[in-house]
Amino acid sequence: MNILVTGASGLLGSSVARALRDEGHRVTTLQRRASGVAGVRDVRGSVTDAAAVAEAMAGQTGVIHLAAQVSMAGDASGFERVNIGGTRNVLAAAQDAGVSRFVHISSPSVANAGDSLVGVPAGPANPEAARGEYARTKGHGELLALGADSEDFPVLVLRPHLMWGPGDTQLTERIIERSRQGRMPILGSGAALVDTLYVTNAVDAIVAALEAVTSVHGEALVVTNGQPRPIGEFIERLALAGGAPRPKLRIPVGPALAAGSAVDAIWNLRDDHEDEPPLTRFLAEQMSTAHWFDQRRTREVLQWKPAVSFEAGMAELARRYR
């Protein structure tokens, strides 16, 4: 097949493009900088540029749409341009090009209003209740994708949850680096159960979705390892695997939530901060509430199960850092 992967300069997108190439597919990637994946057709550009999207889309059979603006903070207009407007461009171009399978990568945050999620299936996206601009705009983008679903244009949505592993800079390296600096907190008891997803399992699930979408479509699936762990244990294990000390900073949940709200209110007004805030209300909620999901429907639809367990993933991460 001819397959377009958007957002292939990131770890997940480039890994998906590489896996599809290795299966013998003809892969095109669309992103603002080089994907770094040998043997694929790279188109440089943003999903906000309709002309670049049309160029990349020409002749494609399938699309995996990963491109997104991902951050804990930032101006709302930037998230809207990429996560909503960009998704609208990709969907329109795919329909015009006669694409016959479309996999949209979303996030469990689109259906999380800050409460605990305990063994639940993927709920409907609720952008107005979602926490933060990333979740809100990804929710709108998911609704656009599902709204385009039809028998002639089947769409399947995957929501990978807390992906980690070697090469991941969004979660893994941030936790390891902040632990090394003594700035990685555990909120409350750290006992809230969360499920996570090892990076190669995420890749396998997305590749499986490209096949599954022709028979099951028009729905969203959360993808995890299916092995919930206490959030404190998960953070500590990542830190230790990366050669950092075990986090010792403990913050009560109430003050952390209040501090996160304060950061939300002032962060984007400053020009002298680092790329990501140290804490947000959404992050404090994620670190103090349970969020793990029933994986039966996901595995049934995708005909997939994780090949790398939580323990094996941690061992591999430690080996890479050594």
Domains identified in the chain and CATH numbers: 2-160+198-223+292-307 (3.40.50.720)
Predicted confidence at residue 259, as pLDDT, reads 78
Predicted confidence at residue 276, as pLDDT, reads 66
Which residue type, as a one-letter code, is found at position 1? Answer: M
Angle CA(203)–CA(209)–CA(210) in degrees, nearest 5?
A: 100
Catalytic residue annotation: 134
Element (H, E) at 237: helix 231-241
DSSP letter for each residue of 155-212 = EEEEEE-SEESTT-TTTHHHHHHHHHTT--EEETTS--EE--EEHHHHHHHHHHHHHH
Give the pLDDT confidence of 232-255 residue by residue, as tens digits: 999 999 999 999 999 999 988 888
Predicted confidence at residue 72, as pLDDT, reads 67
Predicted confidence at residue 302, as pLDDT, reads 98
Predicted confidence at residue 217, as pLDDT, reads 98
Angle CA(234)–CA(69)–CA(145) in degrees, nearest 5?
A: 100
Give the pLDDT confidence of 63-119 residue by residue, as tens digits: 999 999 987 667 789 999 999 999 999 999 999 999 999 999 999 999 988 788 899
**Total residue length of the chain:** 322
Distance between CA atoms of residues 278 and 257, nearest Å: 12
Contact by Cβ (8 Å): 30, 8: yes
Predicted confidence at residue 116, as pLDDT, reads 86
Residues in the chain, pLDDT under 70: 72-73, 264-265, 267-276, 279
- Rounded to two decimals, the pTM is 0.93
**CA-atom Rg of the chain in angstroms:** 19
Identify the three-state secondary structure at position 265.
Answer: helix
Angle CA(2)–CA(152)–CA(59) in degrees, nearest 5?
A: 25
Q: Look at strands 193-194 and 229-230 and give their pairing.
A: antiparallel
Pair of tokens at residue 246: 């075990």
Predicted confidence at residue 269, as pLDDT, reads 62
